[in-house]
Amino acid sequence: QVQLQESGPGLVKPSQTLSLTCTVSGGSISSGGYYWSWIRQHPGKGLEWIGYIYYSGSTYYNPSLKSRVTISVDTSKNQFSLKLSSVTAADTAVYYCARVGAVAGTPFFDYWGQGTLVTVSS
Amino acid sequence: QTVVTQEPSLTVSPGGTVTLTCASSTGAVTSGYYPNWFQQKPGQAPRALIYSTSNKHSWTPARFSGSLLGGKAALTLSGVQPEDEAEYYCLLYYGGPWVFGGGTKLTVL
């Protein structure tokens, strides 16, 4: 069974860059067929899709975050990463990584990490 | 900005049936929006239930079903169990970006 695990600093200072990594086990990112996504949830609020990446490096980002987001993949480590620049308190959230597949051209989100809380504060 | 709207809260009795809906500010939701549905319980990550309108994951209980209803995506729970009390989110595809609905808090009472 595929498992995803987020890791990274739980506290980031305003104006700095938030960096998180998602480690995938039970399946290889480089085998293809899946996109690897980041989603966040502000405290007590709903979910927000941030973006995703294919193993080849193709990316798609939420237009509202696109100017500050970079998602990258390291197939040798079976990991993908999120960088969010110029953070403010509004970026305080639980960040989730998830797998996105497709069957007969129909996309689906299936496996999710447990999430990691990132607080932006000085 | 695209907005996806769900009922903020619904209440259902154990054993009853309830339908949650998901509307798009751009117009009628069709199969091309590939609606996904997720369940989230407090302190837990979301769990995928339905994809592409009506397809279930291998772990999705049979009492959950998805459909299109009156221009919206819909999630129906039949024979509701106490453990179905949770927040439910829909997710729609806009030809590039995905947008989540605001969530429906389902109370089983």
Instruction: Give the per-residue pLDDT at B22.
Output: 98
Which B positions 33-52 lie with beta carbon below 8 A of chain A? 34, 36, 38, 45-48, 51-52
Instruction: Give the per-residue pLDDT at A104.
Output: 80
- Name the band, by pLDDT with cuts 50, 70 and 90, for residue A31: confident
Residues of A in contact with B99 (CB under 8 A): 49
Q: Which of A108, A111, A116 best probes binding to B when mutated, by most B CB atoms within 10 angstroms? A: A108
pLDDT at A39 over 90: yes
Count of CB pairs separated by less than 8 Å, A with B: 59
How far from chain centre, in Å, is Cα A40? 8
Nearest to A49 among B34, B57, B99 (CB): B99
Q: How far is CA A56 from CA A19, A30, A83, in A?
A: 21, 8, 18
Instruction: Give the per-residue pLDDT at B82.
Output: 97
Is residue A35 within 8 Å of residue A100, measured between CB atoms?
A: yes
Instruction: Give the per-residue pLDDT at B96.
Output: 87
- The shortest C-alpha distance from B103 to chain A (Å) reads 6
Quick one: which of A28, A33, A58 has its CA closest to B96?
A58
Tens of pLDDT, residues B43-91: 999 999 999 999 999 999 999 999 999 999 999 999 999 999 999 999 9
Residues of B in contact with A71 (CB under 8 A): none
Tens of pLDDT, residues A56-113: 899 999 999 999 999 999 999 999 999 999 999 999 999 999 999 987 888 899 999 9
d(CA B9, CA A54) in angstroms, rounded, equals 36
DSSP state of B57: P
Torsion of CA A72, A77, A78, A82, to 10 degrees: -30
Which B positions 51-70 lie with beta carbon below 8 A of chain A? 51-52, 55, 57
Tens of pLDDT, residues B8-53: 999 999 999 999 999 999 999 999 999 999 999 999 999 999 999 9
- The shortest C-alpha distance from B57 to chain A (Å) reads 8
Region of residue A70 (left: phi > 0; alpha: psi -120 to 50; beta: else): beta
- The shortest C-alpha distance from B44 to chain A (Å) reads 7
pLDDT at A117 over 90: yes
Residue A25's identity, in one-letter code, is: S
Instruction: Say whether A49 and B97 touch across the interface (CB within 8 A).
Output: yes
pLDDT at A121 over 90: yes
Instruction: Give the per-residue pLDDT at A32.
Output: 84
How many percent of chain A have pLDDT more than 70? 100
Instruction: Say whether A46 and B99 touch across the interface (CB within 8 A).
Output: no
